[in-house]
A and B are shown apart, each in its own frame.
Chain A
Amino acid sequence: MGRAQRQRASALVVVVRTLGELMITFGIVILLFVVYTLYVTDVIAARQQDDVDDKLERSWASPVAQQPAERLVKPELGSGFARIYLPAFGEDFRFVVVEGVGSPQLAVGPGHYPGTALPGQPGNVGIAGHRIGKGAPFNDLDKLNSCDAVVLETETDFFIYRVMPMSDEVANWGKVKQRDPRCAAVPSLRQAGQPEGGPYGRTVGRRIVTPDRGDAVAPVPYRPENPLPKAQQASLVTLTTCHPEYGNSERMIIHGALVNQIPKQQAGSYQALLGLIGEPV
């Protein structure tokens, strides 16, 4: 091999080697990004949750708390105004719900759809939450069964919602699951004999819908034309998250109905509340 030839060969070696190194580096960066979305965001979200939880606790303890009704009229974007508990996922499942469903708000915790009902009101309390990373509050929504409790805590009250009958349970709801005393008050809002089961005929415990179904959090779910006056609307809670678990092609929707309201003064603590509503502690 001549000298020029050898130089050309070694230049080629450098180019190929550098290209290979860049590719390996890119692969490692992608892996780091996966680590970031699955784990690092959890840590960041946990710290932000602690912050809003402290703030919420302090605002509830402050003297302004004399007029809670006024405070709850319209929560400020990004501020925590309630807590959500899903006892089926363990006693320690507890998140502060912040106002808004933009990514900065959802990075902190479950977010309340602005304009939807507030806890306890007639209509539909819409709450979105991440399923992967950022604390993943709604990671296990697919494991919720009908009749499982969704507890919302406000300044003054615990509102106990329970997941409505699943589509395959609606027909025999009264005969089977409603026999359980915990589930006795959980309504199947489907009205037999009416076209499509009445205004709430499409509202079952869990639905998988396309991302454009903004009407899942409408006052009467899936009825954007809003067929009922406010006074006749059922008090519902609707939880939304992404579906499938690592995808965004669909959304998982959980609907629950209000079955009970217990003032915090009466319940004392959340632990005591679980005993009151018959949840295993």
Chain B
Amino acid sequence: MYGWIWRHLPGPFGIRLLAALVLLTGIVALLMFVVFPWLEPKLPFNDVSV
């Protein structure tokens, strides 16, 4: 999977590396700011009220 993505990134090594890092940052940001805030209240780990 990761090999396939790497082969399909365009350009020489430097550009590929940059593109890979940008992709990675984007995915982490998507998780942190969209997916996790949506998911977290649905999980029962942090109920504090009675």
Which A positions have Cβ atoms within 8 angstroms of B? 17-18, 21-22, 29, 32-33, 36-37, 40-41, 101, 103, 106, 111, 113, 128-134, 138, 209, 211-214, 216-217, 240-242, 246-248, 251, 253
Contacts and interface: CB of A to CB of B under 8 A. Distances in A.
B48 to A, nearest CB: 5
B28 A32 contact: yes
Given A36-B40, A37-B40, A22 B1 contact: yes
Interface of B: 1-2, 28, 31-32, 36, 39-41, 44-50
Given A21-B2, A32-B31, A131 B48 contact: yes
Given A21-B2, A36-B36, A248-B44, A113 B49 contact: yes
B50 A251 contact: yes
Q: Binding site of A, secondary structure by majority: helix, strand, loop or mixed?
A: mixed
Nearest to A247: B45
Nearest to A113: B49
Nearest to A32: B31
Contacts of A134: 46
Contacts of B49: 101, 106, 111, 113, 128, 240, 251
A129 B50 contact: no
Nearest to B39: A33
Nearest to B3: A17
A128 B50 CA distance: 8
Contacts, number: 69
Contacts of B1: 17-18, 21-22
Contacts of B45: 37, 132, 246-248
A106 B41 CA distance: 11
A219 to B, nearest CB: 14
B46 A133 contact: yes
Contact of B50 (A32, A130, A216): A216
Nearest to A131: B48
Nearest to B44: A248
Closest 7 CB pairs of A and B: A128-B49, A101-B49, A36-B36, A103-B41, A248-B47, A21-B1, A241-B48
B38 to A, nearest CB: 11
A108 to B, nearest CB: 13
B50 A211 contact: yes
A229 to B, nearest CB: 24
7 contacts: A21-B2, A32-B28, A36-B31, A37-B40, A40-B36, A101-B49, A106-B49
Contacts of B31: 29, 32-33, 36
B32 A253 contact: no
Contacts of A22: 1
B50 A106 contact: no
Contacts of B44: 248
Given A17-B1, A33-B31, A242-B46, 9 more contacts: A21-B1, A29-B31, A113-B49, A129-B48, A211-B50, A240-B50, A248-B44, A248-B45, A251-B49
